[in-house]
A and B are shown apart, each in its own frame.
Chain A
């Protein structure tokens, strides 16, 4: 009896070994039965998530493998970034990186971009400074004058100190001699709710957020050298037009794709090619135009260089805000 059991066991093991060796053939990386996951370090349904979902949907057309979006939110964008850094550098996990990665890294929440390598740089989503429709200020100049009269009486809300809006508000406040009361909120949706309820005077929003709430928001200026491509927002003055050409703060949120450092060069190139095709597709270009996203294309080493530039831009602001890692 024991022998029969033994024979059965050996048979099973052989079957397993055979089936293991008999997996579908790997034709060309990534292979048709494999899944590449794009980790979006924010919860599902947010602005960044939607942009990457659009891109990933398009990317699927240019590869045999299945590409999916995984939302791993938490701790700004640090949880998702750390997860990617904890997985093997085999190209099957891609991080939706960008300005948030730089701020999270500088704050010491993650090793972030120091352990990442660029695949493709995508676009900027410029921020808009807005007040409530019921507020008395028609231009940013008026607002600034009112703020200067009683410094820190007017509150300037952002979607969280650690993120891109936080850096922008702190940077602007420094530039204007700290006349605002910069107050962080718990994410974009929380900021909008408090803004619509007039619990906070000034807010910084993405263009789509402003376009959605045009009835109640009065955009004062767009923090970008060019005007918005969204028709409703095309008459919002740029910061240069508003008379603050020397304002040196990040424009908004920047988005890109990265992989963990050490991923083989050929795989990085394949991923970059897939992403580039999707980026250049009519559909994605049209989507960016509709959403007011400004293309800022770079690939591989080019993106790494761009990240270094971003670090130089963010560093002094985070330092002034006491947000840097020790």
Chain B
């Protein structure tokens, strides 16, 4: 870590030298645009050098005393896991690597979400993101053998969201239209349209949820056993319900109520 900081602060120092200095009209009493950035860079270099030296010294000392290295962390990706395997450590490690995989997937999914947000639009990207995250979190690990269910139900959830979204937005457009035509302020107010959208979508979502629940009634006697069993069925159901309803709710809260301009993306 200190090495990374050292690299960053040297880079920042170089960057601060690259800033062109603008001449202010009149006297030059201004310390200038580069003064503080360079100063800060020097402080950073100093601190990271100190930390680096401290790390080196400690590692030398601990090699002498052969003490455990993983003292500072909380037992997660620290050096502790490299210790010779004692009983139970192997299981512990498997669990840890599952967590690492989940974190990696989360970071990747979020990066994809942020990068595609503007191009694809709020509705689709949010549904897919929520579905993916919830699905893997429910399973507690990232595995390849769930791909079929994942893709199939991800698409179903997305289609449902898109369709419901279109119906709702069109309905709200009509509401505003009539509000304007008949000069009824209420029909055009944000709070009212948001409430209306909530009602409409709740009514439309109800049968969808009921169908899903019945189809995947968990546990014994599940009518159509999915490959992967009850756990996957539960994950799929929860993930789709969460993804669909949250995406629509977020749209109402952010766009309708607080007038945030969410990108339309593909439907522009």
Direct A–B touching, Cβ under 8 Å: yes
Please give the residue numbers on chain A whose beta carbons come within 8 Å of chain B beta carbons, in ascending order. 1, 5, 8-9, 12-13, 15-16, 19-20, 22-24, 32-33, 64, 66, 88, 152, 170, 173-174, 178, 180-182, 320-323
| B156 interfacial contact with A, CB 8 Å | yes
Chain B residue contacts of A170, Cβ below 8 A? 25
**Residues of B236-268 whose CB lies within 8 A of A:** 268
* Complex Cα–Cα for A88 and B174 (A): 24
A173 touching B173 by the CB < 8 A rule? Answer: no
B177 touching A173 by the CB < 8 A rule? Answer: no
* Complex Cα–Cα for A9 and B155 (A): 11
* Complex Cα–Cα for A260 and B188 (A): 28
* Complex Cα–Cα for A87 and B6 (A): 41
Comparing B40-48, B51-59, B158-166, the segment that makes contact with chain A is: B158-166
| B228 interfacial contact with A, CB 8 Å | no
Q: Which 10 A-B pairs have the closest CB atoms?
A: A24-B177, A33-B177, A12-B163, A19-B170, A16-B163, A16-B166, A32-B180, A322-B23, A19-B167, A33-B176
Chain A residue contacts of B176, Cβ below 8 A? 33
Chain A residue contacts of B159, Cβ below 8 A? 9, 12-13
> Distance in Å from the Cβ of A22 to the closest Cβ of chain B?
7
* Complex Cα–Cα for A59 and B159 (A): 40
Chain A residue contacts of B211, Cβ below 8 A? 8
B25 touching A174 by the CB < 8 A rule? Answer: yes
Chain B interface extent, by class: 20 to 34
> Distance in Å from the Cβ of A198 to the closest Cβ of chain B?
19
| B22 interfacial contact with A, CB 8 Å | yes
B167 touching A64 by the CB < 8 A rule? Answer: no
A23 touching B170 by the CB < 8 A rule? Answer: yes
A13 touching B163 by the CB < 8 A rule? Answer: yes
Chain B residue contacts of A23, Cβ below 8 A? 170, 173-174
> Distance in Å from the Cβ of B227 to the closest Cβ of chain A?
14
10 interchain pairs, CB-CB under 8 A: A8-B211, A15-B163, A16-B166, A22-B170, A33-B174, A33-B177, A64-B180, A180-B26, A181-B27, A320-B25
* Complex Cα–Cα for A323 and B173 (A): 47
Chain B residue contacts of A8, Cβ below 8 A? 211
> Distance in Å from the Cβ of B122 to the closest Cβ of chain A?
16
| B224 interfacial contact with A, CB 8 Å | yes
Chain B residue contacts of A33, Cβ below 8 A? 173-174, 176-177, 180
| B181 interfacial contact with A, CB 8 Å | yes
* Complex Cα–Cα for A173 and B224 (A): 83
- Chain B's closest residue to A180 (CB) is B26
A182 touching B180 by the CB < 8 A rule? Answer: no
A32-B180, A152-B26, A173-B26 are contacts. A24–B166 as well, Cβ < 8 Å? no
> Distance in Å from the Cβ of A48 to the closest Cβ of chain B?
21
B25 touching A16 by the CB < 8 A rule? Answer: no
- Chain A's closest residue to B173 (CB) is A33
A20 touching B166 by the CB < 8 A rule? Answer: yes
* Complex Cα–Cα for A178 and B170 (A): 62
Chain A residue contacts of B167, Cβ below 8 A? 15-16, 19
A1-B224, A9-B156, A32-B181 are contacts. A322–B25 as well, Cβ < 8 Å? yes
- Chain A's closest residue to B166 (CB) is A16
> Distance in Å from the Cβ of A70 to the closest Cβ of chain B?
8
Interface centre among A9, A19, A322 (most CB of B within 10 A): A19
Chain B residue contacts of A152, Cβ below 8 A? 26-27
* Complex Cα–Cα for A168 and B162 (A): 53
> Distance in Å from the Cβ of A65 to the closest Cβ of chain B?
8
> Distance in Å from the Cβ of B205 to the closest Cβ of chain A?
12
Chain A residue contacts of B180, Cβ below 8 A? 32-33, 64, 66
> Distance in Å from the Cβ of A145 to the closest Cβ of chain B?
19
A321 touching B25 by the CB < 8 A rule? Answer: yes
> Distance in Å from the Cβ of A311 to the closest Cβ of chain B?
20
> Distance in Å from the Cβ of A91 to the closest Cβ of chain B?
15
A24 touching B173 by the CB < 8 A rule? Answer: yes
> Distance in Å from the Cβ of A5 to the closest Cβ of chain B?
8
> Please, what's the 1-or-0 string for B108-143, where 1 marks a CB less than 8 Å from any CB in chain A?
000000000000000000000000000000000000
